Amino acid sequence: MAPTITGLTATDLRFPTSISRGGSDAMNTDPDYSAAYVVLTTSTGVEGHGFTFTIGRGNELCVAAIEAMRALVVGLSLETIVADMAGFWRSLAGDSQLRWVGPEKGVVHLALAAIVNAVWDLWAVVEGKAVWKLVADLTPQQFVGLIDFRHIADEMTPSQALALLERQAEGKAERETRLLRDGYPAYTTSAGWLGYDDGRIRDLCHAAVAEGWSALKIKVGRNRDDDIRRCAVVRAAIGPDRLMMIDANQVWEVDEAIDWVRALARFDPYWIEEPVSPDDILGHARIAAAVHPVRVASGEHAHNRVMFKQFLQARALDVVQLDNCRLGGLNEVLAVLLLAAKFEVPVCPHAGGVGLCEYAQHISAIDYLCVSGSMTGRMTEHAGQLHEHFVDPIRIDCGRYRLSGVPGFSARMHADTISRFRFSPTQTAHAIGEAAAVLSIAV
């Protein structure tokens, strides 16, 4: 019997990560990794779990936005949703009143992701497959039916998408075998937070190399001399052949970014990430042209497929770092995978935070199996924190993701975690650090 969605709960979960300064960068100085966590209950007892990721204050706004969409979801059968998933997606993204406070960006789009991803989890659990496998087993025609092509038809129509997917259908089985055997390449962000001193960074780099990592990312952008020193520490620790990426988290002006990256170029950074405002497509394009062969990477704040379309049209990105929460869930992620494949730009999904790695492994697998058909130049981001809270946590082996075979979207947290890290509205903390203090029970 196909389940009907009979209930929706949205829970404000916050982890006090600001205390350890893990996750600190030049823009985000004190994140408390948080999730607006959705559980869909159904007529058959099966559940769908999903979440959107934030860094603390504002998580309550995503919870409220999820509540605002409740009536658009509860009462629908899974069969109805799956029969026209693009239509379902648009009915939420395009609600005639709610879209004013977006449209397709910010709080409402983050909330949309939580719901859409919970529906994916539900569907996959019902099918008894991991989400990556569920999508890989769809026909190209069914895959196209998942996507709202509105506002990207100048670069990608349903028929163009179909042709691309049909080309990649050949060899899919062989790629699946290889993926399960070898895993998917990854890089780690756990070594180089701005809050860490040089000694700690050196130790973490040595440990990462010992664990088999061949690509590491560090944060830059607060002080140029510090960055030169830190890049030297990392390059010395990892040797000349491993990749070092640098991430400025939006703090520069366009010309400042060009100068600063040139000053760090002698340490051979593989990419510079988020050099300027995440909305500044033309700024990224100028930087990309100026700092080549250093690549420009961005996307964790690129809020919809229309932004990615333009980043690609403008040749502003060498690496697409889409995010399954910033975009409106997996359906829109698939649209961006198609656009990136058309422009032959590799997708390296944004991850870290809480649960983003769990999502990202599915996206990279889908890209490899169905869309780009390639691992070249592609890596899924990895950070080491908070995986213990998940029922089906990621597995990393020698710097590669080992894919989950558990049915669902790997989004499900332990019941104990949900009750321990639930944030009460009456606790809502405004002063910096207050949220962390409230939640410090678990550090």
Residue numbers annotated as active site: 219, 350
User: Please, what is the minimum distance in Å from the beta carbon of residue 435 to its own copies?
Assistant: 8
Q: Which of 95, 176, 247, 381 binds its own copies (CB under 8 A)?
A: 95
Cite the DSSP H helix spans in 84-219.
85-93, 106-127, 131-136, 140-144, 158-169, 172-182, 198-211
Other residues' Cβ atoms within 10 Å of the Cβ of residue 31 = 21
In contact, 191 and 224? CB cutoff 8 Å: no
> Toward its own copies, which CB reaches closer, 61 or 162?
61
Q: Which of 50, 183, 278, 299 binds its own copies (CB under 8 A)?
A: 278
Reported in sequence order, the residue ranges of 196-339 that DSSP labels E, i.e. its strands, are 215-219, 243-247, 269-273, 295-298, 319-320
Interface positions, 9-48, toward its own copies (CB under 8 A): 27-32
Rule CB under 8 A: say whether 54 interacts with its own copies.
yes
Rule CB under 8 A: say whether 255 interacts with its own copies.
yes
User: Please, what is the minimum distance in Å from the beta carbon of residue 252 to its own copies?
Assistant: 9
Q: Which of 43, 140, 145, 150 binds its own copies (CB under 8 A)?
A: 150
Burial of residue 25, with CB atoms counted within 10 A of its CB: 0-12 exposed, 13-18 middle, 19 or more buried? buried
Rule CB under 8 A: say whether 2 interacts with its own copies.
no
Residue whose token pair is 């995010």: 323
Fill in the DSSP letter of residue 413.
Answer: B
Q: What are phi and psi of 218, to 5 degrees?
A: -125, 160
Q: Which of 5, 10, 39, 60 binds its own copies (CB under 8 A)?
A: 60
- Count of all residues that appear for the chain in the document: 443
Nearest to 326 by CA among 27, 72, 106: 106
> Toward its own copies, which CB reaches closer, 104 or 332?
104
User: Please, what is the minimum distance in Å from the beta carbon of residue 19 to its own copies?
Assistant: 14
In contact, 274 and 250? CB cutoff 8 Å: yes
User: Please, what is the minimum distance in Å from the beta carbon of residue 129 to its own copies?
Assistant: 32
Stretch (H or E) spanning 36: strand 34-42
Rule CB under 8 A: say whether 219 interacts with its own copies.
no
Contact range with its own copies by CB under 8 A, out of 202-210, 307-315, 387-395, 401-409: 307-315
Fill in the DSSP letter of residue 402.
Answer: E
Fill in the DSSP letter of residue 261.
Answer: H
> Toward its own copies, which CB reaches closer, 69 or 234?
69
User: Please, what is the minimum distance in Å from the beta carbon of residue 34 to its own copies?
Assistant: 9
Can you give the binding site for its own copies, defined by CB under 8 A?
A: 27-32, 54-62, 64-65, 68-72, 95-110, 150-151, 153-154, 250, 253-256, 276-283, 286, 301, 303-304, 306-307, 309-310, 313-314, 428, 430-432, 435
